[in-house]
């Protein structure tokens, strides 16, 4: 299993904290956000994560070294990829294209979650969602009677669903 973590954003909404520390490396209960994320995904996916691709801006050598150490702490090889220009999430994932082989999880670096399920790898893809009170503030999924996603709606003005996309995706085949 491979994991891609886009984290090249500036973290502007968390200033002044992010003036000196990239948002995913801010500590929460003694560990960085990205460290919690990786540990929680490793617990949910049920397979060993063998490679983690971190898509970064230019955070510096010390940050990159810390990211590699976090990957190694779960038995994975860490790789650093650079997103030179901010062209969105899809572009960030493409920057780590060499990790898009076999089973892949893409997880936004600022996502903290708790769950009690195991990943169903019989599916071609899985999107983590969470029920929210105010779906107009989020991207949400529409789904049919079989819980198959039929559409995505960004910040709906009329109710279509209360299942917000939390920023973690599984692909049976990254290719």
Active site residues: 155
Q: 45 with 70: CB under 8 angstroms?
A: no
Tokens 């009690």 belong to 116
What's the distance, CA 132 to chain centroid? 19
Contact partners, residue 133, CB within 8 Å, separation at least 6: 162
Distance CA 97, CA 91 (A): 10
Helix (H, G, I), strand (E, B) or coil at 103: coil
Positive or negative, the Cα torsion across 164, 30, 25, 70?
negative
Burial call 73-93: b when 16+ CB within 10 Å, e when fewer: ebebebbbbebeeeeeeeebb
């Amino acid at each position: 299993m491979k994991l891609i973590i886009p984290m090249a954003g500036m973290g502007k909404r968390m200033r002044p904290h992010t003036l000196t520390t990239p948002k995913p490396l801010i500590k929460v209960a003694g560990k960085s956000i990205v460290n919690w994320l990786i540990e929680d995904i490793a617990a949910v996916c049920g397979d060993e994560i063998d490679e983690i691709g971190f898509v970064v801006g230019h955070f510096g050598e010390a940050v990159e070294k810390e990211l590699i150490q976090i990957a190694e702490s779960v038995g994975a090889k860490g790789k650093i990829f650079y997103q030179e220009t901010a062209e969105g999430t899809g572009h960030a994932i493409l920057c780590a294209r060499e990790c898009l082989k076999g089973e892949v999880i893409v997880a936004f670096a600022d996502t903290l979650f708790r769950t009690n399920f195991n990943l169903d790898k019989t599916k071609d893809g899985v999107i983590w969602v969470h029920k929210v009170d105010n779906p107009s503030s989020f991207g949400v999924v529409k789904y049919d009677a079989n819980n198959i996603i039929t559409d995505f709606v960004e910040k709906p003005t009329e109710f279509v669903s209360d299942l917000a996309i939390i920023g973690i995706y599984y692909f049976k085949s990254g290719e």
